[in-house]
């Protein structure tokens, strides 16, 4: 006769972003929370009776509500709050396992070297890119980066757009703007007779220009932000003629906390990974032609 062995259930990968607002200076905690519960769950497996089952949707809601009620001082402390709650509040639950991944952010430095109060760059995600083409007489060098995740927790709007009978998106007057930057820039060094650029310094300057433009732009659209980012590189670096940017909109939606008697004052968001808006464009130096492919994956 078969018998039931080890079992558990729960909600996996609840993405929760908690923004603590202290005046103009904000603090961000970005977690991926997975909860697993086990206990007196034999009957639901044998007969389908759900009398001892706390819905996994409730588990998800608890993560978001606790982000508001308790804040997130650390991943460990947040997990302690959650695990204690599930075991103490539900008699059939004998064990709760909470696994948390935390995505670290650091403040973007302004041109003056001061930390921006509400603009952040994700730590450790960036990949440096380079493509070198040589035909025996001339060089084409395209530098770039991918996986550079940035976020503004305010100073972003999206309103005044076209609406038709299928439009349900409400206008946003204060939203989180986040994207994962893929950028390529083409240098105008083509000849061995020219002094070659300092590649590391050139890369560092372009990266800094991208970040500073993102941090300093009051965004009315992601397209506007993209253009400012590319323009900053062209304006400040004479050896770069073309910048190609691909910016997916990493949507952050406010969680409806009213069912739990809580007010969400632009504090607790769900980070949605798909579907997403994808904004792409090239910014050129006046008089130059575009050479970087539109589809950056084919570069």
Token pair for residue 171?
A: 């206008």
Lookup result for tokens 């990493």: 250
Catalytic residue among 26, 250, 251, 252: 251
Would you call 250 a catalytic residue per the annotation?
A: no
What's residue 299's pLDDT?
53
Would you call 58 a catalytic residue per the annotation?
A: no
**Pairwise CA distance, residues 281 & 247, whole Å:** 9
What's residue 298's pLDDT?
55
Catalytic residue among 20, 52, 56, 282: 56
Whether residue 43 contacts residue 49, with contact meaning beta carbons closer than 8 Å, is answered with yes
- In the chain, ranges of CATH 3.30.1130.10 domains: 9-102
Residue 143 CB-half CA count within 13 A = 19
107-251+262-298 belongs to CATH 3.30.1490.100: no
CATH of 9-102 given 2.102.10.10, 3.30.1130.10, 3.30.470.20, 3.40.50.300: 3.30.1130.10
Whether residue 31 contacts residue 15, with contact meaning beta carbons closer than 8 Å, is answered with yes
- In the chain, ranges of CATH 3.10.270.10 domains: 107-251+262-298
What is the per-residue pLDDT across 97-121, written as a single tens digit (0 to 9) for each?
999 999 989 999 888 889 999 999 9
What's residue 98's pLDDT?
95
What's residue 231's pLDDT?
98
201 CB contacts (<8 Å, ≥6 apart)? Answer: none
CA-to-CA separations, 86 to 56, 93, 128, 130, 229, in angstroms, rounded: 12, 7, 43, 49, 46
Catalytic residue among 11, 29, 60, 250: 11
Per-residue pLDDT of the chain (299 residues; tens, 9 = 90+): 899 999 999 999 999 999 999 999 999 999 999 999 999 999 999 999 999 999 999 999 999 999 999 999 999 999 999 999 999 999 999 999 999 999 989 999 888 889 999 999 988 778 999 999 998 899 999 999 999 999 999 999 999 999 999 999 999 999 999 999 999 999 999 999 999 999 999 999 999 999 999 999 999 999 999 999 999 999 999 999 999 999 999 999 999 999 999 999 999 999 998 999 999 999 999 999 999 988 765 55
What is the per-residue pLDDT across 242-280, written as a single tens digit (0 to 9) for each?
999 999 999 999 999 999 999 999 999 999 989 999 999
Would you call 56 a catalytic residue per the annotation?
A: yes
Reported pTM? 0.85
What does the CA dihedral 54, 56, 61, 63 come to, rounded to 10 degrees? 100
């Amino acid at each position: 006769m078969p018998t039931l062995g080890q079992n558990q259930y729960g909600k996996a990968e609840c993405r929760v972003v908690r923004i603590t607002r202290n005046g103009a200076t904000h603090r961000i905690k970005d977690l991926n929370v997975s909860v697993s519960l086990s206990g007196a769950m034999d009957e639901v497996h044998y007969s389908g009776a759900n009398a001892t089952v706390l819905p996994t949707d409730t588990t998800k809601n608890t993560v978001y509500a606790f982000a508001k009620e308790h804040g997130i001082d650390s991943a460990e402390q947040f997990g302690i709050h959650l695990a204690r709650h599930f075991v103490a509040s539900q008699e059939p639950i004998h064990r709760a396992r909470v696994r948390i991944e935390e995505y670290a952010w650091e403040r973007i430095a302004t041109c003056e070297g001061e930390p921006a109060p509400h603009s952040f760059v994700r730590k450790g995600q960036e990949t440096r890119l380079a493509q070198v083409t040589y035909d025996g007489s001339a060089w084409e060098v395209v530098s770039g980066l991918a996986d550079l995740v940035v976020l503004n927790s305010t100073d972003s709007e999206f309103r005044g757009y076209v609406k038709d009978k299928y439009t349900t998106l409400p206008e946003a007057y204060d939203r989180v703007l986040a994207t994962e930057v893929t950028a390529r820039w083409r240098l105008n060094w083509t000849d061995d007779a020219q002094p070659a650029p300092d590649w590391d310094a050139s890369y560092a300057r372009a990266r800094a220009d991208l970040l500073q433009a993102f941090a300093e732009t009051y965004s009315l659209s992601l397209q506007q932000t993209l253009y400012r980012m590319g323009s900053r590189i062209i304006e400040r670096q004479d050896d770069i003629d073309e910048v190609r940017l691909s910016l997916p909109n990493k949507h952050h939606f406010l969680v409806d906390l009213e069912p739990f008697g809580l007010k969400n004052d632009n504090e607790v968001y769900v980070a949605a990974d798909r579907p997403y808006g994808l904004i792409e464009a090239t910014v050129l130096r006046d008089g130059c032609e575009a050479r970087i492919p539109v589809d950056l994956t084919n570069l």
